Structure 1
């Protein structure tokens, strides 16, 4: 007895079912790939903004530090008068210039001048040696900028003065000093995203900000104490 073969209709039905299954599988893998790419893009953005916040916060916390020590070696430096912490309020993209002494470097490179500025949406940082070859008066070298992070829409800083004032530049007047700073960093992903998040933000200094179309933004805000700016007792 001969076996019965498949009819044309059965073959077509089987091919159709196989095509549907393959289509669902392909769509699943495409969606999984897109989701993984979106998660990677979002994670890269958050890491980039957090890195900027960590670096800027560390510099602000050190602003005004005057003493270097290593074991039984100690040295005090004099920072440039009136230039320990300077900044300009340029909308959401503030610029900062500051001096400090760090024991993380050798005595010949302990005194640092650090500056931040922007070129379009690229935040740049300069960290140059201001240690004098003789004496203890820190020098005033020219900045030498290097890119720190791309896709940064805002480095917005509000300074909280010891007299309770809030100012957009680190000048609290003759009878007060910047006690702390509220720092906000806002960035956008370098690659387009489907789930873009918020498109419009208001920064810590009440600057309105629009994120690039199809990119969205990630914002991080924190208060940074600046204990070294308190005037020394007379």
Structure 2
């Protein structure tokens, strides 16, 4: 005669099953949370690096005056100064002009602006190419969002007379030779164990990281060879 399971054996088996399921659920929840945190931090770092790359490329081009394509060459006169901006604490603004050979002659002269709307960094890139002549124009900016969750675009300029400025105005007898740039941002989604509660920019500004968000800052020096004044004939 076959003997079935007793009530005690069934209860023990169910208890073991519940424990195993609880451990499994906890493991998968922990793994999922780790993946979300990793994705949020990776997205944050990619966003900050993207902003740094775009700003760096524009600063390196600031003041470039020549368009070249094969045997075609064109020199433009840029508005003065070709690089200007304001010290907004950790959120600086920029206006710069340059000529790029990556565009055709009809749109080679560019005006680029940076500004903030809350924690959204905005960028404008509009054509300043004249319809005739060689003097680049001064069109109005047309801002578009570049990146959200940006705490800082902080720039410190190294002038040719060895002084340091928080704006690109180096005076009548000097020009900006390079710029140290800090870009800082925070994750757009909450994370666990977010890390440091504050960051410091290149000019010594302290940034408070939003509660429950990861923060990341990147500082880089950018050479600006095109801002050296042309020799007087």
TM-score range, shorter chain: over 0.9
Q: CA deviation at 1:4?
A: 2.1
Q: Shift of the alpha carbon at 1:175? A: 1.5
Separation of aligned partners in 2, 1:55 and 1:165: 26
Aligned residue runs from structure 1 range 25-104, under 5 A: 25-82=24-81, 84-104=82-102
TM-score for both structures, normalised by structure 1: 0.98
- Correspondence 1:192-203 to 2 at 5 A: 192-203=190-201
- Point out where structure 1 has 5 or more consecutive residues left out of the alignment: none
Provide the TM-score with structure 2 as the length reference: 0.98
Give the SS at the match of 1:215: coil
Where does structure 2 lack aligned partners over 5 or more consecutive residues?
none
Structure 1 segments (4+ residues) deviating >6 Å: none
1:126-172 per-position Cα deviation (integer Å, ceiling 9, x unaligned) = 00000001000000000000000000010000001111111000011
Paired residues for 1:65-214 under 5 Å: 65-82=64-81, 84-214=82-212
State the distance in 1 between where 2:197 and 2:73 align: 51
How do 1:214-233 residues align onto structure 2 when only pairs under 5 Å count? 214-233=212-231
Equivalent residue pairs, number: 232
Separation in 1, partners of 2:56, 2:193? 30
Secondary structure of the equivalent of 2:183?
A: strand
Q: Tell me the C-alpha RMSD between the 2 structures.
A: 0.7
Deviations 1:30-55, CA, capped at 9 Å, x for gaps: 11111111111111111100000000
Displacement, 1:198?
A: 1.1
Tell me the residue number matched to 2:11: 12
Give yes or no for contact 2:41–2:214 (8 Å, CA) kept in 1: no
Q: Determine the C-alpha separation between the residues in 1 that align with 2:104 and 2:222.
A: 26
